[in-house]
Chains A and B, each alone.
Chain A
Amino acid sequence: MSSASLSLSRDDRPILIAALFILVILIAGTVYTFARFGSAPLLSPTYLLQQLQIGAFLGIVAAGMMMVILIAQIDLSVPWTLAAAAMMATSIGGPLAIPVGLGVGLLVGLINGVGVAYLRVPSMIFTLGVNAVMRGLMVAHTGGYAPQTGATDLMRMLAGDRTLGIPNALFVWIAVSVLVTIVLQRTTLGRYVYAIGNKEAAAYLAGVDTRRITVICFVLCGLAAALAGVLLAGYSTKAYQGMGDAYLLPAIAAVVIGGTNILGGRGRYLGTLIGVVLIVLLNSVLSIMDMPEAGRQVIYGLVIIFMLLVYGRGERVTS
């Protein structure tokens, strides 16, 4: 191992490798399009911005998911929190649409947090149940059909329009990213989050109200999912059934590819950001290649395993 890679910290290595892999994807995709169509759309800023606009929704979900994974929990209720927020926002409409949508996320996060932190139900199973309940509520609310209500102008403006040629959704994603980075690196809350992820009992003995922090993390995750839902409804001008289903696993994958330990306590937000970009670019290259769904799934799985084999390997348990 060269001295350059030795001087990298344990948390930086995954980020660097993932960034390199993004370059590989870009180059491979460009070589393919150049050979096949004689053009290089992947390198055009317009195309990249458009991809990042779509990636913003995943990015926001992943930011929330990361807060929960850092405290060694997981939130499986994201798909229907996202859909419920979008459906509630569109059906309320008017100036209250966005606050109501975010309120849904806050409420779901609160329920998740209380169940996991105070009742000590494993988050894997509790959030799964909450997801089913949200799905049930939304199916009952919409009658199982696509909701007829549309997104408000503000939602469409935030998700679909551009300012100075840059999609507004990207600005929202950047704002969320800045916020998460500040919380994780500059606040006591961030310190507590890492402490709980490493050893909750130790954090508790050190005087941290670990249960309150756990609730806060779930609330943040719910809020992020709701924000993504509101934006996605604005982007597609309406809410629809199952709109969140495609976001759960990619969000977890993005967080993990970015070097965050799935067992909590370790990982940087920059990694999650890179992980999201990697997944979005991989998807867009595969769709340029006209790859059928079967091939996409296989490549998607293999990439996750490959990335983790390179830098995500755990320690051997020997004592």
Chain B
Amino acid sequence: MLDDIAIRVRQNVGIVTAVLLFSILYLLYNLSHPKGFSSAVLVQNGDEIFALAMLAMAQTVPVLASGLDLSVGAVMTMVGCFASYLLTGAAGGTPLHLDIFGLHVGLGTFPGGVSGILLGIVICLATGALAGFINGCVVVYGRIQPIIATLATGAVYIGIALFLRPTPGGKIDEDLNWALTNSLGDFAATVHIFDDGAASWFAPVAWIPVPFVLLILIALLVWVPFRRSVIGRAVYAVGSAEGAAYMSGLPIDRAKIAAFTLAGFFAGCGGLFLAIQTSSGNADIPQAGAYTLNSIASVVIGGTSLLGGTGSAIGSIFGAMILRVISFFFRIFDIAPLLQPLFEGLILLAAVSIGALGVLRVKNTLELFR
């Protein structure tokens, strides 16, 4: 029994380290925060963490198949721009039109109200998944290296986002914004369930922030079943030895397409939330780039190998949370904003370098060149 646990810990040493590091950092953060351990702080942190956590999950799946998706930030931005048109929740619906090549094409009215919002959410998530699916097809059928293929498709997605929102704008239904970016109690009160959140059995969980619940739900309902499916295992197999996976008759092509599609879906979730949180769509190219790069950093900190084959999206969530908590500390310790990028970079370098110190113990230099 103990041996079993020891083996499991050894196999998942990356994730365990990430979880421990996050726990320590977050405990320290709450201890040094004047309002630490309160629902308000938790809610604020949850809102700031969610989008990056989703992008970290998105990045993990192609990385597991030893690809890299440089378009996750672009997909996030594009989906956010779609959301800023489709989730206005205006009572009479939202008239949509397309201005292209000097033509003005009416696209009818997108329904408003609750059903319109739900439909909008589905369309946004489907858009993200579709973008990922296209990435997968370009990589698999075009046989173009993932890193360069997604660099190119990312440019296309950013272009679409810029086309939709040349300047930041749009609007998101206020109730939706309020319900998803606060605690469970506020959510229940906004959507009028559980006696508007006043039910006595509901009180013990009412303080939990909605973003954390969403994160756990997505991890449990999407990631875990995927990880256990044949396709999910094939993704890991492709990442550790593509040739062997092919010889074993695994569905390599489908696994790769599924990996990129899931990445697009997760990135879409992140974009949707970011749009809801900021109540607008913004085709911000530097922001998209920063999210993409931070997603790669989260994946590495979360214990997933960039060579593919080992790791987990759960670890990446903790990687993303570590990155974010570090920036929370800047606020607490009142570090000049000007010095923050320097510290972020140094911490990232320190983390990956310490993780790499194992090479100093390698006796046979050949083992370095995998």
Q: Which residues of A contact B (CB under 8 A)?
A: 74, 76, 115, 118-122, 124-126, 128-137, 139-140, 143-144, 199-201, 204-205, 210, 242, 245, 249, 252-253, 256, 262-263, 292-302, 304-305, 308-309, 312-319
Contact = CB atoms under 8 A, between A and B. Distances in A.
Given A133-B349, A136-B341, A245-B286, A128 B156 contact: no
A318 B159 contact: no
B285 to A, nearest CB: 8
Interface in B353-369: 353, 355-357, 359, 365-366, 368-369
A308 B338 contact: no
B145 interface: yes
Nearest to A263: B145
A252 to B, nearest CB: 7
Contact of B142 (A133, A199, A302, A308): A308
A294 B160 contact: yes
Interface string B142-162: 111101110111111011111
Given A119-B356, A200-B369, A294-B160, A304 B152 contact: yes
A125 B296 contact: yes
B356 to A, nearest CB: 4
A319 B246 contact: yes
B152 A121 contact: no
A245 B288 CA distance: 13
A314 B143 contact: yes
A319 B144 contact: no
> Which of B252, B353, B356 has the largest number of chain A CB atoms within 10 A?
B356
Contacts of A296: 159
Given A125-B297, A253-B151, A317 B243 contact: yes
B142 A313 contact: yes
B306 interface: yes
B341 A129 contact: no
Given A200-B369, A305-B152, A308-B149, A298 B160 contact: yes
B303 to A, nearest CB: 13
Q: Which 3 A-B pairs have the closest CB atoms?
A: A136-B342, A132-B345, A297-B159
Nearest to B353: A119
A316 B159 contact: no
Given A125-B296, A301-B154, 11 more contacts: A126-B349, A132-B345, A135-B345, A136-B340, A252-B148, A292-B163, A297-B158, A298-B156, A300-B159, A301-B152, A317-B252
Contacts of A242: 286
Given A317-B246, A319-B243, A204 B151 contact: no
A308 B144 contact: yes
Contact of A252 (B151, B297, B343): B151
Contact of A301 (B144, B159, B345): B159
A125 B306 contact: yes
Given A139-B338, A308-B142, A309-B144, A294 B159 contact: yes
Of the candidates A119, A131, A296, the one having the most CB atoms from chain B within 10 angstroms of its own CB is: A119
B243 A305 contact: no
Contacts of B152: 253, 300-302, 304-305, 308
B113 interface: no
B346 interface: yes
B18 to A, nearest CB: 15
B349 A130 contact: yes
Interface in B316-350: 338-346, 348-349
Nearest to B345: A132
A297 B162 contact: yes
A252 B145 CA distance: 13
A200 B366 CA distance: 9
Contacts of A316: 143
Contacts of A199: 369
Given A130-B345, A204-B366, A294 B155 contact: no
